Amino acid sequence: MACRITSKIAQPGILSVRRMATAAKEVHFTREGKVGLITLDRPKALNAINLNMVHQIRDHLLSWHDDTSVGVVCVEGTGPKSFCAGGDVVSITASAEDDSAALTFFHDEFQMNYLIGTYPKPYVSLIHGITMGGGVGLSLHGKYRVATERTLYAMPETAIGYFPDVGGSYFLSRLEQPYGMFLGLTGYRIKGADLKHLGIATHYTEMEKLPALKSAIMASTEDTIEEVLASHESPIPGPFTLGPQVDLIKHCFSAPSVLDIFSRLEEDGSDFAVKLLKTLRRMSPRSLVVTHKLLSEGGNFSYEECFAREFVAAAEIYRSGEFTEGVRALLVDKDNCPAWKPGTVEEVTQEMVDRYFVPSGRQWKPL
C-alpha cells in the first residue's frame, strides 16, 4: 500500500527544510540604542538554524548578558514566510555512522535555549510565519513572543522519529493540560491568534503593523519595552478555533498511555478524532511513547533537568536510527514510507522506552 502524508496535521514544517550550503552571513547582529537585534537570514531554507548559527547567537547573547549598554534583545526572521522552521535536520543526520556531530548540535542548541530562558534582560521574539521545532526553542523561552495572523506554530518531531525537544518537555507540560500532550504527539499546527489563546504567544499584532512595532522596539529600553508591546497589540480576531474540540482533546489526551489515547479517539469516533488517530498512527511509535513519557513527567522536573533528560533521549533516539529513517523517508528520498522499528505502538516495550532515560556517555550541562 502506498504511503503518503496528506493530513495538514501531519505535515511538519521542519521537514521542508533542505540542506543548504553555509552562507557567510546566516545571522546578523545589530545594535541600536539599548537594543540588540538578532536577524536570522536563511530565507531560502525558511531560516532553519544550523550549528554555526547556534554558536553565533549563543556567543552574542553571552556578550550582551552583562553589557549595561544592552537592555533589550529582539530576534526576527528574514522574509515574510518564516521566523524559523526548525533545525537543518538533513545536515544533522547526514553523518549517520557517527553521532558526534548530531549530539554536538543538540547539546549546544539546548545550551542556547537554556540561556534564552534564563536571560536577565527582556527577550522579544517576532514570530511571524513558520515557527516550528528549533524556531520554537529560539522564541518560546524568551519573556515576550509576538505572533501575527501569519504565524504557524508546531512541534512536529514525532513524524520524523524524534520528539519535541528544545525544552518541549518543560513548556508543553506546563501549558493548560492536556494541550501540551495534544500538540506534542500530533504536531498539530496552531495559528497566531490561537497561540495567544493558549498563552504560547504573549502578544498578537497584525502583520501590517509589525514594521511600526519593530521600530518602536528598536527605540525602547528595558523600562519601556512592556509598554511598547502593549501599545501595539491588535484585537484577537475571533474565538479559539479549537474551542469546539476542547472536550475531546481533554478527554482523549489526558489518557495515561498512548494506547489509551488511541482507544479514546476510537471510542469518540467523530471526524476530528478519526483524523487525529490517522495522523498518530503514521508517527514513529517509539517517538510517541517516549514523547508521552517526557511530557507526562516534565512537570516534575526543573528547567535544567528537562533539558538534561531531553539530551539523554536525543542521544538514544539518534543511535536507534529512528530519527535518521524519518528524515530519509520524509525529506531525502521523499517516499513517505518510514520503516519504523517497531512498526506499532503495541510493540513498543518498556525496555525500549527505559533506554531513553538512562544517561550513557556525554551529558548535558548549561553554560
Choosing from 134, 184, 298, 326, the catalytic residue is 134
Set of cell numbers at residue 101: 556531530
Choosing from 88, 165, 194, 316, the catalytic residue is 165
b/e map of 229-251 (b: 16 or more CB within 10 Å)? beebbbebeeeeebeebeebbeb
Q: Is the peptide bond before 342 cis (omega within 30 degrees of 0)?
A: yes
Q: State how far the alpha carbon of 47 is from the alpha carbons of 76, 124, 128, 307, in Å.
A: 10, 17, 12, 23
Other Cβ atoms within 10 Å of 98 Cβ, number = 9
Facing residues of 147 across strands? Answer: 204
Facing residues of 250 across strands? Answer: none
Residue 288, amino acid: L
Integer Cα distance of 84 and 134 in angstroms: 7
Residue with cell 498563552: 199
DSSP labels, 165-201? -TTHHHHGGGSSTTHHHHHHHH---EEHHHHHHHTS-
Specify whether 157 is catalytic: yes
**Quick check: 96 and 24 in contact, CB under 8 A?**
no
Specify whether 87 is catalytic: yes
Choosing from 157, 194, 310, 325, the catalytic residue is 157
Specify whether 67 is catalytic: no
* Residue (of 31, 107, 42) closest to 77 by Cα position: 42
Instruction: Give the residue numbers annotated as catalytic, written as ranges.
Output: 87, 134, 157, 165
